[in-house]
Structure 1
Amino acid sequence: MAQYIIGVDVGGTNTDAVLLDLTKTGPEAVVASHKATTGTDVTIGIEDAINVLIQKTAIPLSQVASLMIGTTHFINAVVERDASRIEPVAVLRLASNDFTASTPPFIDFPAALKRIMNGHSAFVSGGIQIDGSLIDKINRDEILAQAKIIKEKALRNVVVVGIYSPSDEDERQEYQVRDILTETLGKGTNIVCSRDIAGTGILARENASILNASIFHFAKRTITGFKRAMKRLNLTCPLYLTSNSGQLLSASEAIRYPVQIFSSGPTNSIRGAAFLSTALDADTSRYVIDIGGTTTEVGCLLPSGYPRLASAFSEIGGVRVNFAMPQVESTGFGGGSIISTLSNGAIKIGPESVGQALTQKALSFSGDTLTATDILVAAGEGGIGHVKPEIDAATILAVKQKMKKMLGDCVDRMKTSPESCHVILVGGGAFLCPSELEGVAKIERPFHAGVANAIGAAVAEIGATVEVIVDTEKKVETLVEVRERAISQAVQKGAKEGAVRVLEEVVAGLPYIDAKCKVSVKVSGPIDYEKVLELDNSDEVYVEEEAHYEVKQHISENVAVEDVVDFEMYKPHVDIERIWHLSETDLLFISIGCYILGCAGGGSSYTKYLEAREVLRSGETMSLISISDLAPDAICPPLSGVGSPAVGVERPGGLLVKHALETMEKHLSIQYGAMLAVEIGGGNGLEPLLWASSKYYNVPCVDGDLMGRAFPSFEKITPYVSAQNINELLPVALSDGNGTNIIMTTAKDTYAVDNVLRAAVVTMGSAAGGVSRPLSGAELKKVGVPNTHSLAWRLGRAVTRAQSTGRVSSVSDDIIREFGGRESASKVFSGKIVAVGQTLYKGHSYGNLVIERLQSYEMEAGEKEDEGPERVEIPFKNENLIIEAHYASGERKILATVPDLIMVLDTLTGESVGVPEYRYGLKVMVLVAAAHPLWTSSQRAIDIVGPRAFGYDLDFKPFGVFKEVKSVIDEFAPVV
């Protein structure tokens, strides 16, 4: 059997290679290594590095079992906004009836990147409901018309994204559109169907698909170059590329799905650092700083030897996607970073880089461009180049201070505790790091650190993931089948049979969908080198001889740059008339806080934040007014999105609520004076801000709501506490945004209302806009929960401040303070999600979240084992209902129940984790806060929203004492 493997990492500046001996482990396995310059044709660097390895060791080529390549080449192109490597994309979204219209493609792209990639976008007929039924059919004439526009714009990359396309097994609409486009545009056009790229979550899936399409041709040129290099080197072993998760893809897979290898470099560096480190404190978390030629990435190495995973969403080059990737902070700073001075005298480092031209353009190599490397060489610390640049001492000092701050800030953003940490320094630009960094106790510079990324690539494994949706009653046997399928797939791809291990198993109920659950299994195993040669024969070999030279092109026109906000000093704008005029920063704070107050329900507020921000950026305004300032006769419609928040993940935006408002307005012949949120929790907390804005009704929104949180059913609002019967809450208007509008005027009882509305919403695609009987200002002062937008703003501000200053580990203290202190709120548990399943209670199907206390080896530096329960279980029905603690002694104890607020927060970000984001392995903390007295001061209220209202035979015991929230308007209004 072949004895050696070669790992290569292709960066923007350097290509690193390492030869490992399969019969050894640890640093001793490194037989030889080499660093070469990445040429304008990336294959040159690969050839040079591998040639040197072979010459150094004189090993027979037949003894090379495989070649693994990892690269930061693609992310470098995005970070640098390089128009020679990333291309414009046309996006066709299949979304009829204005569904998703207020969240258009590229809505959350960085401005400079959007300017390059946004070639064209359009909404066309199509889309699938959550249950698989049609929203609308594909209109062939529309697609042909779009194809004509795409051809006229000379675009060669197209993304097709349809609502709920990942579950569209009958119509397969994206494939229909792809085939029509191919007829007109030809097979040479790169058409990406979003269902092939990522799962549910239309914006994140669309973003990933755009990146995949934009980078496709550059990826094909790059990987073709890799195969050409192998051919010239007479290497006949298989070629693999490392994916974002650290597992391996064949060359042909990587060409089709380049976004999956988009950010593999940081993963390889972290794994390589673990392989090389000889530190004795490997039982604690450490941070890996990888300084390359163009970028620096910082990741967290857990005691397990694997990277810390990101939260439910990740960012690639500033673009939000829903891939599972290691959490990495990236900054445009490396050895080739260009140093410049701004008009105000400040030093600017990167993100522009000379990249692979370092040895031609840098001053220390007789070039004419000042780079970060030149600063260290001039200071006598670089040890490379053949010229010592003449740079004045003041400039050297200023640049070195800027470098130290950039690196320190990057580490701070990764840390979840202000305590000093241990850093492992790797990468070819490691010499740029100073001997000390703020907040870092120890900096380890291991042997072979310069090629840690290549080592990480070499030790990667082959994996597979299988995910299916099945009937809940079949979940046990399905788990066994899915596990076998995943293992079989890994073996078929080249993993060693019998050595494949399960990394993750998830059996999770689908939120709000009865009798269905998701079963997912992820596996990984080492390569079986005895059979990979045979498998590789089926892989396409690229033999084109034309060399492609990457000449960078930067968009020089001015692009919008978002202002940097000092969150510590920020103050909202409240005018003399006590009107709170919202800014983008206010919206950010409110959106984060609303999701926390949703108690895992209410739907993510992120897309509503994007919608509202888009309204402000278009020049419109929106404002809030205190309940106490409302005129007694002001007409305030309680409005919300109704149905499953899971639909909002695929159908963000739309005019459903607007149509419901118009339906109610016409039915009652009234004129609205202010908009009112039914629930502050989740996306519905921001919903009234949109329709109150100057773009639509041009009225203020009330700072308050009718829940003080989120609840799952119509009658669970504060006006019902004092109502004699359900008809006092009627009429209610519903709209599907697709031409169907209904008014329910009377009902015999609460159950009739719930059943009718639920049935109507299901027929509307499990999502509708809803408006309840409007309340007068006088009524609202009696039954409304005041200042809930103020509370959301304060919670969001606390989280954002903690994130920006590296204090996330203590953010729970800040949140508790905003709720009124420890008499009102508390952190009751922290740990890791280990299961998200279904449980039956009195015939009802509820979700059940299980969180276990972290084991010592899973904890990060500074974390301590808490005394208390071994695990907690949190049943949920849209929102979290109960916390049941399980102790090592076998004792069980109820820690909290509804209507008190039970919140699950991500320990890495401090932000809320909603039911759709519940997943295995996520580290979370559980907080409880006292509910508003309108829900706790009478038996009538407890009967409506207490544990028995959800089927649990438990008495409600208040967790704490509610403290009034100080209004933002009261605090910041000018003193008259």
Structure 2
Amino acid sequence: MSPLDPEELKRTAADIAARGLTSVAVSSVFSPVAEDDERRAAEILGAELGPGVHFSLSHELGRVGLLARENATIINAALRDLAAAIVESFAKSLAEVSLTAPFFLSQNDGTLMDVDFARAYPVATFASGPTNSMRGAAFLSGLGDCAVVDVGGTTADVGILAGGFPREAAGESEAAGIRTNFRIPDVLSLGIGGGSLVSPEGETGPRSVGFRLTEEALVFGGSTLTATDLAVAAGRADIGDRSRVAHLDPEFTARALDRIAERLAETVDRMRTSAGPLPVVAVGGGSVLVPAALPGFDDVRRPGHFDVANAVGAAIAQVGGEVDRVFQVPEGRREAVLAEAREEAVGRAESAGARPGTVRIVDVEEVPLAYLPGGATRIRVKAVGDLDLNGIGTTHAPAGARDTQGAASHA
């Protein structure tokens, strides 16, 4: 690996200034192991460019793996200005309706972040919608370990809860077809929802009427056969005018709904990691399409307030602190290193706004790195705690997304 060249960075800064760029991505080889070069590069560039330029550092966003981590950093840098505009729009809307409550945003690990953190790390919001629904499903059902099927108007998102939090995707993921490796929940999406079009053969989706459901579905006086019409015709939902779907052939309706159940079951089965019994919790307005049992999954639950699980998940979200980096683990020192990582994660959660005494460790992951000397091990520890509203104003989001996870949601 080449040593840092300050003069080359200064020339790069001059080029950035000439182009009028205000958001810069910095990425180096093995930065999750040694972050000093990225931080030093940002300092040199910042001194040349001034305070109006923002920096996204790859070790704060992605995991081990150069190209995917670099992509994640570039995406974050590209979204910085948009994130600032969105946060300001939210704040303005709250002010217009005279809401003075503290303002948080939900992020994609089921925890909260404040507005400064959201401006700095917009990629942390990716897939926060399904995450909110899954956290809401855990709260409403009382289950910490289960599969969640979140059915909306266009898609059904299927994920796995472990300890009440969404299982994260392992390794790389794609954002708009681009390989990345930032934290994101492990979710499979299926083109089936309440607004999905039903073909003459009884196949549902992926095309959907979307938000025009109340205009185009048969039960609302429209002329398009949708999955919602099937649910109403079968007596699973009391929506719109049932008399408008009385002409549907019961055999056709049952066959189409059975096909939906089969596809949902196949997706849940793809997500499971063992052959043991797995409860399924159905949430979202479109979950009326999910039957009382799915093929291979007899325990299907639709808890009270299932249609607003997304809002519930945002409202009950906690503050998170996370350590995710490479540690040297000498022989006989494993427990001491893990204890250090746990303590650091708890401290970061409290610094991010968690109330002391409520923080608990929810996930610990160890990955030995055989190609590095000295017992190098990637250790990821996640801690969560309840939001300390009394401490707002004295706490702040930490500076690093990967090494220090911030907190907040629109609750």
TM-score (norm 1): 0.35
Change (3 A) 1:444 1:467: closer
User: What does 1:144-543 correspond to in 2, within 5 Å?
Assistant: 161-166=27-32, 167-170=34-37, 172=39, 175=42, 192-212=56-76, 219-277=83-141, 285-302=145-162, 304-314=163-173, 320-339=179-198, 347=203, 349-350=205-206, 352-366=207-221, 371-377=226-232, 381-385=236-240, 388=244, 393=249, 396=253, 399-417=256-274, 421-467=278-324, 483-504=342-363, 510-515=369-374, 517=376, 521-532=381-392, 534-535=393-394
* 1:521 CA drift (Å): 4.2
Secondary structure of the equivalent of 2:266?
A: helix
Displacement of 1:164:
3.4
The offset of 1:523, in angstroms, is 2.1
Where 2:389 maps in the other structure, the secondary structure is coil
**Structure 1 residue 495: Cα displacement:** 1.0
Asked whether the 8 Å contact 1:421–1:439 carries over to 2, the reply is: no
Q: Aligned partners of 2:300, 2:311: CA distance in 1, in Å?
A: 21
| Native 8 Å contact 1:287 1:301 kept in 2 | yes
Q: Using a 3 Å threshold, how does the CA distance of structure 1 residues 457 and 339 change in structure 2: closer, same or farther?
A: same
Q: Secondary structure at the match of 1:440?
A: coil
Please state how far the C-alpha of 1:467 moved relative to its aligned partner.
Answer: 4.9
2:192–2:204 Cα contact (<8 Å) kept: no
**1:23-102 paired onto structure 2 within 5 Å:** none
Distance 1:159 1:334 in 2: 38
Separation (CA, whole Å) in 2 of partners of 1:182 and 1:163:
24
SS at match of 2:262: helix
- Partner SS, residue 285 of structure 2: coil
Q: Write the distance in 1 (CA, Å) between the matches of 2:278 and 2:344.
A: 41
Deviation of 1:160 (Å): 5.2
- Cα distance between partner residues in 2 of 1:449 and 1:140: 55
User: By how many angstroms is 1:431 displaced?
Assistant: 0.8
**Over aligned residues, Cα RMSD in angstroms?**
4.5
**CA offset at residue 405 of structure 1?**
3.3
Q: Deviations over 1:346-394 (max 9, x none)?
A: 84612x5444443345454455665433443455644223583698648
Write the distance in 2 (CA, Å) between the matches of 1:176 and 1:321.
Answer: 25
Tell me how far 1:433 sits from its aligned partner.
Answer: 1.8
Q: Give the structure with the higher percent helix.
A: 2
Q: 1:819-834, aligned counterparts within 5 Å? A: none
SS of 2:76's equivalent? Answer: helix
Q: Classify the secondary structure of the residue corresponding to 1:495.
A: coil
> Which residue is 1:777 aligned to?
none
**What is the distance in 2 between the residues matched to 1:163 and 1:181?**
23
CA deviation profile, 1:95-133 (whole Å, cap 9, x unmatched): xxxxxxxxxxxxxxxxxxxxxxxxxxxxxxxxxx2xx74
CA contact (8 A) 1:140 1:180 kept: no
Question: Following TM superposition, by how much is the alpha carbon of 1:181 offset from its aligned partner in structure 2, in angstroms?
Answer: 11
Taking a change above 3 Å as real, the CA distance of residues 423 and 383 of structure 1, as seen in their structure-2 partners, is same
Cα distance between partner residues in 1 of 2:14 and 2:225: 51
C-alpha separation in 1, matches of 2:241 and 2:92:
33
Question: Max radius of gyration: which structure?
Answer: 1
Structure 1 pair 408–523 and aligned structure 2 pair: CA distance change class (3 A): closer
Report the CA distance between 1:270 and its aligned residue.
Answer: 2.8
TM superposition shift of 1:429 = 1.0
Deviations, residues 677-700 of structure 1 (Å, cap 9, x unaligned): xxxxxxxxxxxxxxxxxxxxxxxx
CA separation of 1:255 and 1:416: change in aligned 2, threshold 3 A: same
Q: Is the CA contact 1:337–1:372 (under 8 Å) kept in the aligned structure 2?
A: yes
Q: Which amino acid aligns with 1:438?
A: P
Q: Which residue of 2 aligns with 1:705?
A: none
Contact 1:420 1:439 in 2 (8 A): no
Q: Judging changes above 3 Å, is the alpha-carbon distance between structure 1 residues 412 and 373 closer, same or farther for their aligned structure 2 residues?
A: same
Does the C-alpha gap of structure 1 residues 252 and 336 become closer, same or farther in structure 2, counting only changes over 3 Å? farther
- Contact 1:338/1:349 (8 A) holds in 2: yes
Q: Are the equivalent residues in 2 in contact too, given 1:475–1:517 (CA < 8 A)?
A: no
Take 1:213 and 1:405, find their aligned partners in 2: how far apart are those partners?
Answer: 41
Say whether the 8 Å CA contact 1:165–1:172 is kept in structure 2: no
In 2, Cα distance between equivalents of 1:535 and 1:357 = 45
- Inter-CA distance 520–274: structure 2 relative to 1 (3 Å threshold): closer
Give a deviation string over 1:125-178, Cα, whole Å, max 9, x none.
Answer: xxxx2xx74599847778877999x89xxx998755443344352365863897
Structure 1 contact 313–324 (Cα < 8 Å) conserved: no
DSSP 3-state at the match of 2:99: coil
| CA distance, structure 1, for counterparts of residue 13 and residue 247 of structure 2 | 59
How much does 1:449 deviate? 1.5
Aligned residue identity for 1:237: A
Between the two proteins, the alignment pairs up a number of residues equal to: 391
Please give the alpha-carbon distance, in whole angstroms, between the structure 2 residues aligned to 1:300 and 1:372.
25
**How has the CA–CA distance of structure 1 residues 477 and 410 changed in structure 2, closer, same or farther, with 3 Å as cutoff?**
closer
* Contact 1:419–1:439 under 8 Å retained in 2: no
Once residues 483 and 141 of structure 1 are traced to their aligned partners in structure 2, the CA distance between those partners, rounded to angstroms, is 42
Rounded to whole Å, the distance in 2 between the matches of 1:382 and 1:319 is: 39
> Can you give the 5+ residue segments of structure 1 that lack an aligned partner in the other structure?
1-128, 540-976
Q: Is the contact made by 1:144 and 1:180 (CA closer than 8 Å) also made in structure 2?
A: no
Cα distance change of structure 1 residues 525 and 171 upon mapping to structure 2, 3 Å threshold = closer
Query: 2: CA distance between counterparts of 1:355 and 1:249?
Result: 30
Alignment of 1:583-662 (within 5 A): none
Give the 3 Å change call, closer, same or farther, for CA 292–418 of structure 1 in structure 2: same
Output the amino acid matched with 1:460.
A
Q: Is the 8 A contact 1:500 1:524 kept in 2?
A: yes
Tell me the percent identity: 37
Using a 3 Å threshold, how does the CA distance of structure 1 residues 194 and 441 change in structure 2: closer, same or farther? Answer: same
Once the two structures are superposed, residues 747-791 of structure 1 have per-residue CA deviations (whole angstroms, 9 ceiling, x without a partner) of: xxxxxxxxxxxxxxxxxxxxxxxxxxxxxxxxxxxxxxxxxxxxx
Deviations 1:640-682 (A, max 9, x none): xxxxxxxxxxxxxxxxxxxxxxxxxxxxxxxxxxxxxxxxxxx
Q: What amino acid is aligned across from residue 489 of structure 1 in structure 2?
A: R
Superposed displacement of residue 501, structure 1: 2.5
Q: Which amino acid in the other structure matches residue 527 of structure 1?
A: L
* C-alpha deviation, 1:403, in angstroms: 2.4
Residue 238 of structure 1, CA deviation: 1.6
Following superposition, the deviation at residue 220 of structure 1 comes to: 4.5
Give, in whole Å, the separation in 1 of the partners of 2:255 and 2:16. Answer: 52
- 1:334 is displaced (CA, Å) by 1.9
Structure 2: which 5+ runs fail to align?
398-411
